[in-house]
Amino acid sequence: MIVGLVVRDGEITDAAWAVIEPLLPPAGRVRGRWRDHRQVLEGIVFRFRTGVPWRDLPVRFRPWQTVHGRFARWAADGTFDRLLAAAQQRTAVDWLVALDSTIVRAHQHTAAKGGSRNALGRSRGGLTSEIHLACDGRGRPLSFTVTAGTRNDFTQAEAVIDKIRVTRPGPGRPRVRPERVVADKGYSARTFGTYLRRRGIKATIPERVDQLAGRRRRRERPCGFDRTVYRRRNVVERCFNRLKQWRGIATRYDKQPDRYLAAITLASTLIWLQT
């Protein structure tokens, strides 16, 4: 467990930096000078925590082009994914996994061509994206995807579970299978239930009213449902609350979905390191 890891106004403590620094690519030169990775990463965190435009970064993070450029490069080369994987490896995982999704408004500047290909959907409320997420029993993000806000919850359920991959501290393959998945009625689809049973994963998902009515018509017994376990589903809501404390995540400003995903990955890394 990492103690004393706090991020305020884009500044990362020494305890956090000791974990993150070895995982970053070697520093390069900017106009003949070495540019400090820590200052750049603090600028990235500040931008997404506050939601300010890149051009409006405070003077201490300037030039903004360097911060933006390095963020784009790290998003493309998998640096943020490696940070999250390392953070998950350092802490014991509670393998009761909660699954859910949340809608985020997309800023008008994200209105690029491509629609669903850019994970944008248009509804009565305007442009939206949707974060589909699985967290462990302590509310820490394990895996996530981003789609257009008009997509149904369960359409990404299998993809999110398939993305879970936690490296073990010692030898052995990464762990990819939860002990149990807890989700609301939006995930009560027969195909998803079959998928979980095939992988040997227990499920606590309430059935919809129409499903219960169908069972009564067929004179079938309802599926067993543990309400005590289901109460733990709220950890995923708390996880979304923590992520949305970052204004650049609560509202999507980035046109490219991979960069928005990178911001979620960075925020998720800090959540893991803070617990």
Each residue's pLDDT tens digit, 207-225: 766 666 666 676 666 666 7
35-39, 161-165, 174-178: the lowest-pLDDT one: 35-39
Q: Does residue 31 carry a pLDDT above 70?
A: no
In this predicted model, what pLDDT tens digit does every residue of 98-124 receive, in sequence order?
999 999 999 887 765 555 678 888 877
Cβ(111)–Cβ(120) below 8 Å:
yes
What pLDDT is attached to residue 5?
Answer: 40
Mean pLDDT, residues 50-56: 94
Q: Can you point out the beta strands (E) in 73-120?
A: 96-106
4-13, 15-24, 90-99, 179-188: the lowest-pLDDT one: 4-13
What pLDDT is attached to residue 48?
Answer: 96
Q: Can you point out the beta strands (E) in the chain?
A: 7-8, 11-12, 29-30, 33-34, 96-106, 121-123, 126-135, 141-148, 180-182, 202-204, 251-252
Provide the residue count of the chain: 275
- DSSP helix/strand/coil, 142: strand
Of the candidates 97, 94, 95, the one whose C-alpha atom is nearest the C-alpha of residue 183 is: 97
Q: Does residue 244 carry a pLDDT above 70?
A: yes
2-11, 79-88, 136-145, 210-219: the lowest-pLDDT one: 2-11
Q: How many CB atoms lie within 10 A of CB 14?
A: 9
What pLDDT is attached to residue 3?
Answer: 38
What pLDDT is attached to residue 224?
Answer: 67
Task: Annotate 199-247 with DSSP letters as a single string.
Answer: TT-EEE-PPPHHHHHHHHHTTPPPPP--HHHHGGGHHHHHHHHHHTTSH
Q: Does residue 148 carry a pLDDT above 70?
A: yes
Q: Does residue 181 carry a pLDDT above 70?
A: yes
CATH architecture label of 94-254: 2-Layer Sandwich (3.30)
Classify strands 96-106 and 180-182 as parallel, antiparallel or unpaired. Answer: parallel
Measured between alpha carbons, how far is 255 from 108 in angstroms, rounded to an integer? 10
Supply the mean pLDDT for the chain: 86
What pLDDT is attached to residue 77?
Answer: 93
For the whole model, what pTM was predicted? 0.89
What pLDDT is attached to residue 151?
Answer: 83
pLDDT band at 194 (very low <50, low <70, confident <90, very high): very high
Measured between alpha carbons, how far is 196 from 190 in angstroms, rounded to an integer? 10
What pLDDT is attached to residue 1?
Answer: 37
pLDDT band at 157 (very low <50, low <70, confident <90, very high): very high
What pLDDT is attached to residue 249?
Answer: 97
Comparison of pLDDT for 221 and 134, the residue scoring more: 134
What share of the chain has pLDDT > 70, as a percent? 84
Give me 264's structure tokens.
């979620």
Dihedral through CA 71, CA 75, CA 81, CA 86, nearest 10? -20
Of the candidates 211, 220, 209, 204, the one whose C-alpha atom is nearest the C-alpha of residue 189 is: 211
Residue with tokens 């579970």: 161
Cβ(262)–Cβ(71) below 8 Å:
yes
Comparison of pLDDT for 206 and 158, the residue scoring more: 158
What pLDDT is attached to residue 200?
Answer: 95
Measured between alpha carbons, how far is 163 from 144 in angstroms, rounded to an integer? 8
Give me 64's structure tokens.
């903004």
Residue 165 has phi, psi (to 5 degrees) of: -160, 100
What pLDDT is attached to residue 50?
Answer: 94
Half-sphere exposure of 86 (CA within 13 A, CB side): 17
Half-sphere exposure of 216 (CA within 13 A, CB side): 7
